[in-house]
Structure 1
Amino acid sequence: MKKASICFSEAQQAWALWNQTPYAARYELLNSVATELALESFKVPLVFHHKHSAQLLTEPELMPGPTGETNELYTAGRGVALIVADKSVDLGCAKALYAQLSVALMSGNCVLLCVQDSELAQQVLTLIDNLSLPAGVLSLVEYDQYAQLLDSDVRVVCVLGEEMLVKSVNRSLAGKAGAIAPLVAEIDLYNMPVAQDPKLPLRYITERTRTINITAVGGNATLLELGSAEH
């Protein structure tokens, strides 16, 4: 596996292009591979979150402006997401991990994965090989390098496993300078209250606005007359 610093650098470089990839294309790529591999632990949460969040992640909300300009509210991925799964996350509860992974990718983030269980890590590697994503979009990093990645400019962190690990990561994030990275934590790996939250994508996105003016005075051409000599 590559060093954490190299994986993070590649993820940062890949993020802009992946974030601009249409949502439908991102989902179709993930779904086709999940179907091809018959990987139900990945496909089930993927389909679930697609059903509940497709409109949120695809359709901008139109907000007409008072002077005629067009304002659109839309969503974008936060940047590089770090997902850490300790030894308690194995193949038996892989859905908890794959729910976070699928949502992070569908939302337009690049993902760095640190998985401690060797069998689950091997399954993740198989998934990565078959996805054939652009370099840097999804990488598996040695588990013991997650602390180094926490010091990087990761924009959202997800921790799955024991409460002690969650508290440790939370303290590390609280002590960082710069942008605040939200923490997503899943301790109940079988009931998965976080993974089954239909609003989970909200934790992996940020809102943006786009304003389009058709004239220099805000979009309403009739306002131009107010500045003419005849008025």
Structure 2
Amino acid sequence: MKNASICFSEAQQAWSLWNQVPYATRYELLISATKDSTLNDFKQPLEFHHKHSAELLCDPVFMPGPTGETNELYTAGRGVSLIIADRTVDVQVGKAFYAQLSVSLLAGNCVILCVQDSELAQQVLMLIERLALPKGVLSFVEYDQYVQLLESDIRIATVLGDEVFVKEINRCLARKSGAIAPLIAEVELAKMPVAQDPKLVLRYITERTRTINITAVGGNATLLELGSAEH
């Protein structure tokens, strides 16, 4: 099993390409691994969040500008996502874990997993093998390496476990220098209020805009004068 620094480096390198893969293609790659019933705990949350995320992530929103330019509002993954599941997260509450995993990948993030429960860890390794995603998109490291990963330039951290553990992770993130990594926490593993949020994907993305200015080739250039001192 690779160490944390190698996995993080591979995830960083893979992110720009994975983020550019069309949403529909990402979903097809993920759902293709669930052909039999052994991975229903992954399939069900994946289908649920696909239903609610597709409209948000598929197509950019076009916003025509007053001077003829074209503005597009679109979404992008945040970067490298770290998901940590402590000893309280086992296969009985696996759907809470898989919901976070599926949404993070659908959103265009590369994901590194740290799982403490041995049975769930084996199930996750089987899933990774079946998915056969590009190198660096989805990685699994030894559980205790999450401490090292928290010091890396992760762009979002997800923690599933008891409240004391979540607070510990939150303090680690607060002490970091550099970019602020948002924290997503699931402590009610039986009820799964976070995992069942239909808008969960919004916490795994950023919004971006793309502007194409066409005033030089036929746009309404006269409107550019409205802000000048002579008018």
- TM > 0.5: yes
CA–CA separation in structure 2 for the residues paired with 1:169 and 1:128: 25
> Which amino acid in structure 2 is aligned with residue 17 of structure 1?
L
- Structure 2 letter corresponding to 1:54: A
Residue 76 in structure 1 maps to residue 81 in structure 2 = no
For residues 74-113 of structure 1, what are the structure 2 equivalents within 5 Å?
A: 74-113=74-113
Measure the CA separation in 2 of the matches of 1:74 and 1:2. 34
Distance (whole Å) between structure 2 residues aligned to residue 31 and residue 101 of structure 1: 13
Amino acid at match of 2:119: E
Counterparts of 1:45-84 in structure 2, within 5 Å, are 45-84=45-84
- Which sections of structure 2, spanning at least 5 residues, go unmatched? 226-231
Q: Which 4+ runs in 1 deviate beyond 6 A?
A: none
Residue 220 of structure 1 aligns to which amino acid in structure 2? G
The whole-number CA distance in structure 1 between the counterparts of 2:216 and 2:142 is: 53
Aligned to 2:21: 21
Q: Which whole-Å CA distance do the structure 2 matches of 1:142 and 1:37 have between them?
A: 27
Correspondence for 1:229:
none
Give 1:220's aligned residue: 219
CA distance in 2, matches of 1:155, 1:183: 9
Question: 2:31 matched to 1:31?
Answer: yes
Contact 1:35 1:43 in 2 (8 A): no
1:144 corresponding residue in structure 2: 144
Question: Alpha-carbon deviation of 1:42?
Answer: 0.4
Q: Which amino acid letter does the alignment assign opposite residue 130 of structure 1?
A: R
- The amino acid across from 1:44 in the alignment is Q
Q: CA deviation at 1:179?
A: 0.7
Q: Which residue of 2 aligns with 1:203?
A: 203
- Offset from partner CA, 1:78-135 (integer Å, 9 cap, x none): 0000000001100100000000000000000000000000010011000101111000
CA RMSD of aligned residues (A): 1.5
1:146-179 per-position Cα deviation (integer Å, ceiling 9, x unaligned): 0100000000000001111100000011111111
Q: Which letter does structure 2 place at the counterpart of 1:208?
A: R
- SS of the aligned residue for 1:33 comes to coil
Aligned residues: 224
Match of 2:165 in 1: 165
> Aligned equivalents of 2:216 and 2:124: distance in 1?
52
Structure 1 length as normaliser, TM-score? 0.94
What CA distance in whole angstroms lies between the structure 1 residues aligned with 2:190 and 2:63?
41
What is the CA–CA distance in structure 1 between the aligned matches of 2:133 and 2:36, rounded to whole Å? Answer: 15
Please give the secondary structure, in 2, of the residue aligned with 1:159.
strand
Going from structure 1 to structure 2, the CA distance change for 1:37 and 1:126 (only over 3 Å counts) comes to: farther
Q: Deviations 1:174-198 (Å, cap 9, x if unpaired)?
A: 1111111000000011110000000
Aligned partners of 2:67 and 2:221 also within 8 Å: no
Residue 35 of structure 1 and its aligned partner are, at CA, apart by 2.5
Q: Percent identity?
A: 71
- Distance across 1 between alignment mates of 2:212 and 2:56: 21
> Counterpart of 1:133?
133
What one-letter code is carried by the residue in structure 1 that aligns with 2:169? V
TM-score using structure 2 length: 0.94
Partner letter of residue 158 of structure 1? Answer: T
